Amino acid sequence: MAATSATDYVKPRRINWGHILLYVLLIAGAILILLPFAYMISTAFKNTGEVFKTPVQWIPAKLKWDNFTTPMHEHPILRWFKNSLFVAASVTLLNLLTCSLAGYSFAKFKYPGRDLLFGVVLATMMIPLAIVVKNLGWVDTYWGLIIPAGTSAFGIFLMRQQMLGIPDDLLDAARLDGCSEPRIYLGIVLPISRTALSSLAIFIFMWNWDSFFWPLLVTTDERYRTLPLGIALFESSYGTNYPQLMAVAFLAMLPVLIVFLLLQRNFIEALTMSSVKG
Amino acid sequence: MQTTETAARIPLSEIVVPARPWWRLTHSQQRKLWGFAFAVPAMCFFALFSIYPIARTFYLSVFRYSVVEQPKYVGVKNFRNILGDHRFETSLINSFKYVAYTYIPVWIIALILALALNTRIRGRGVFRTIYFVPVVMSWVVVSVIWKLIFHRMGLLNTMFLHPVGIAPKNWLTSLKLAPDAIEMMSVWKEVGFFMVIFLAGLQNIPTDYYEAARVDGSTGLQLFRYITLPLLQPTILFCTVIGLVTGLQVFIPQFVMTQGGPVDATLVLTLNIYQTAFVYLDGGKAAAMSVILFFIIALVTLVQFVLYRSRGQS
């Protein structure tokens, strides 16, 4: 009887002021984070007269869809979009191959010079990107945009961390069965690592979608620009038409935003994995 | 019985192993070779696109060089020019100021957010996602949006300053405000990244430590001071390295929003290198600046690595 009365008695809940304060802070922060995006989207649909009203007019009187179509007629924006997509996708594929191979090599093989090579990989992270060397033969080609980004120290590091966890017995068993090394890599190592591979793919794609400095150096022709580069130079010439600028910025943001919202768990896990284990 | 006896009678030295031709590798040698071969593609990319360019940059830093003329050896003249160049000094100071005024607030805010999200409150996942959104956005897109926000008639002036009676400010064209404006934007963009890293670090701390300390009657602040901070040190060091190395190389916001102006107020090192090489066509001087930037980054990384090692041992 005593036990039931103890459970029946519900302690009147005290208001937890700490939690309320926490919520107020977190919600205020979230609003500050989202406000610029709301401002961009709202501006993308305004006519030029509505942009600079005080107080801010959040909902335009009439949605102006021209802001999206007019810049497309004046600039090869669709082509920039395709360039970005093509370059980022190719770089991602290349990285998946080179990083998984090198990560496998550093994690599961012992050979003279291995630690030295891995040290070199880590050291390249220190090389500043502002290097003025460019191969003039590759200006305005897709090769010039893709090949130099063909591998990444971060990717190798991530793959190595992942592959250290593969049991050696599994690989040795395959070797005893007469499996060749390339087949072990293709048939066992890659399938086991698919989560890490997908995380790597997301990161490499995102970074290269955003890549700016290198494309700026190796493109002079408008037709080979990637989207961020196109927008930056479009901005400098059409800086005054903010609604159109915001419309284009919105289009450029969309693919990454969608990928992120779909795969955000992988994003954050990959980041966590690389920081904690590193 | 018979067979084992005869086998035992053969001396070991007489057992003939079929000779392995010298070109046939043993299994373990083969495996080593495969292991090395797997690393080769990535190493080729590094050699061609990381190591060769940095070596070439070192080489060019002692030449007078522009796109139009042949390189001409000038010794350390480029470096001597840089040391007397107030514009280089300005850009170096601007870069370090940018790092300090961006990343110190970022680390503090990110740590507070991570602590807040490491509790058992509802909607943690939603908040984490929202705060992370700016991280995945392109710097160019973000810079373009914020350029409008900082406009004389933009969001910041009309929505936040106007209601409290502050006259609109020219954020991006004022000597004093332009660096602050860009730092403000960078804090907004970078906070989510470091929050996630701090959160990972916090979740790695075993909860028993806190429970044990609470039993001993420790207050929340003591828990933070004596358990959270010490155990978070590897994460904090990781964050400082990442912050410094990326912050010292900042380029896009200044390039898009101010072009280094007004009057070099936002001229950071990387932008200076870019302009020296491709606007003023002084490749040798730009290479020398890159070399200096390389040593600064290497030094920063090394110092923190040494710190990390010494703390780890004690």
Residue B313 has pLDDT above 60, yes or no: no
Confirm if A106 and A156 have CB atoms less than 8 A apart: yes
Inter-chain residue contact A101 with B51, CB threshold 8 Å: no
- Phi, psi dihedral angles at B73 (to 5 degrees): -65, 130
Which of A11-20, A113-122, B43-52 has the weakest average pLDDT? A11-20
Q: What is the largest CA-CA distance in chain A?
A: 89
Domain borders along chain A are: 14-64, 66-277
Q: Which CATH topology does A66-277 take?
A: MetI-like fold (1.10.3720)
Confirm if B238 and B197 have CB atoms less than 8 A apart: yes
Inter-chain residue contact A275 with B201, CB threshold 8 Å: yes
Query: Beta strands B63-64 and B72-73: pairing type?
Result: antiparallel
The conformation of residue B161, written as its DSSP 8-state character, comes to I
Inter-chain residue contact A235 with B56, CB threshold 8 Å: no
Say what the ipTM of the complex is.
0.84
Query: What does the pLDDT read at residue B205?
Result: 86
CB-facing half-sphere around the CA of B310: CA atoms within 13 A:
6
Confirm if B179 and B98 have CB atoms less than 8 A apart: yes
Q: Which residues on chain B are in Cβ contact (under 8 Å) with A126?
A: 245, 294, 297-298, 301
Query: What does the pLDDT read at residue B190?
Result: 95
Q: For testing the chain B interface, which of A126, A145, A206 should be mutated: the one with the most B CBs within 10 Å?
A: A126
Residue of B nearest to A176 (CA): B27
- Nearest one of B123, B119, B102, B71 to B250, comparing CA atoms: B102
Query: What does the pLDDT read at residue B169?
Result: 86
Which of A95-109, A115-129, A232-246, B119-133 has the weakest average pLDDT? A232-246
Query: What does the pLDDT read at residue A238?
Result: 62
pLDDT in tens, A54-91: 777 888 888 888 888 888 888 888 899 999 999 999 99
Label residue A4 by pLDDT band (50, 70, 90): very low
Instruction: Report the residue from A56, A130, A239 with minimal CB separation from B274.
Output: A130
Q: Which CATH topology does B85-313 take?
A: MetI-like fold (1.10.3720)
B 164-223 near A (Cβ less than 8 A): 188, 192-193, 196-197, 199-201, 204
- Nearest one of B35, B140, B33, B87 to B267, comparing CA atoms: B87
pLDDT in tens, A128-187: 776 666 666 788 888 888 988 899 998 998 899 889 989 999 999 999 998 999 999 999
Label residue A3 by pLDDT band (50, 70, 90): very low
Q: What element of type H or E holds A12?
A: none
Inter-chain residue contact A109 with B35, CB threshold 8 Å: yes
Q: Does residue B131 belong to the interface with chain A, where contact is any CB pair within 8 Å?
A: yes
pLDDT in tens, B32-81: 999 999 999 999 999 988 888 888 889 888 888 876 677 888 888 889 88
Query: What does the pLDDT read at residue B281?
Result: 85
Query: What does the pLDDT read at residue A262?
Result: 86
Q: Which residues on chain B are in Cβ contact (under 8 Å) with A33?
A: 130-131, 133-134, 188, 192
Cα B185 to Cα B189: distance, rounded to the nearest angstrom? 6
Inter-chain residue contact A257 with B136, CB threshold 8 Å: yes
pLDDT in tens, A258-268: 888 888 877 77
**What are A206's two structure tokens?**
């995102």
Confirm if B153 and B265 have CB atoms less than 8 A apart: no
> What percentage of residues in chain B have a pLDDT greater than 90?
39
Average pLDDT in chain A:
85
Residue of B nearest to A254 (CA): B137
Q: Write the burial class of residue A255 (CB in 10 Å: 0-12 exposed, 13-18 middle, 19+ buried).
A: middle
Query: What does the pLDDT read at residue A29?
Result: 94
The mean pLDDT value for B82-98 works out to: 93
Cα A125 to Cα B302: distance, rounded to the nearest angstrom? 12
Provide the shortest C-alpha distance from residue A4 to chain B (in Å): 28
Cα B288 to Cα B302: distance, rounded to the nearest angstrom? 21
Confirm if B288 and B82 have CB atoms less than 8 A apart: yes
Inter-chain residue contact A133 with B56, CB threshold 8 Å: yes
Label residue A9 by pLDDT band (50, 70, 90): low
Query: What does the pLDDT read at residue A2?
Result: 44
Query: What does the pLDDT read at residue A71?
Result: 84
Inter-chain residue contact A150 with B131, CB threshold 8 Å: no
Query: What does the pLDDT read at residue B305?
Result: 79
Pairwise pLDDT comparison (A5 vs B279), residue with the higher score: B279
Instruction: Report the residue from A39, A229, A232 with minimal CB separation from B155.
Output: A39
**What are B263's two structure tokens?**
């009057």
Domain borders along chain B are: 85-313
Q: Is the dihedral of CA B109, B111, B112, B118 positive or negative?
A: positive
Provide the shortest C-alpha distance from residue A98 to chain B (in Å): 5
**Angle of helix A77-108 relative to helix B27-46, nearest 10 degrees?**
150
Residue B206 has pLDDT above 90, yes or no: no
Query: What does the pLDDT read at residue A11?
Result: 56
Inter-chain residue contact B136 with A30, CB threshold 8 Å: no
Q: Does residue B96 belong to the interface with chain A, where contact is any CB pair within 8 Å?
A: no
Q: Which residues on chain B are in Cβ contact (under 8 Å) with A148?
A: 45, 48-49
DSSP state letters, B211-280: HHHHHTT--HHHHIIIIIHHHTHHHHHHHHHHHHHHHTT--HHIIIIITT-STTTT--HHHHHHHHHHTS
Cα B157 to Cα A22: distance, rounded to the nearest angstrom? 28
**What are A217's two structure tokens?**
């150096």
Cα B65 to Cα B282: distance, rounded to the nearest angstrom? 6
- Nearest one of A241, A274, A265, A210 to A70, comparing CA atoms: A241
Q: Which residues on chain A are in Cβ contact (under 8 Å) with B42?
A: 98-99, 101-102, 121, 151, 156
Q: What number of other Cβ atoms are within 10 A of residue A158's Cβ? A: 27
Inter-chain residue contact B158 with A117, CB threshold 8 Å: no
Q: Which residues on chain B are in Cβ contact (under 8 Å) with A26?
A: 113, 116-117, 121, 127
pLDDT in tens, A38-50: 999 999 998 887 8
Which of A112-116, B6-10, B211-215, B250-254 has the weakest average pLDDT? B6-10
Query: What does the pLDDT read at residue A264?
Result: 80
Confirm if A278 and A157 have CB atoms less than 8 A apart: yes
Query: What does the pLDDT read at residue A182?
Result: 93
Inter-chain residue contact B141 with A25, CB threshold 8 Å: no
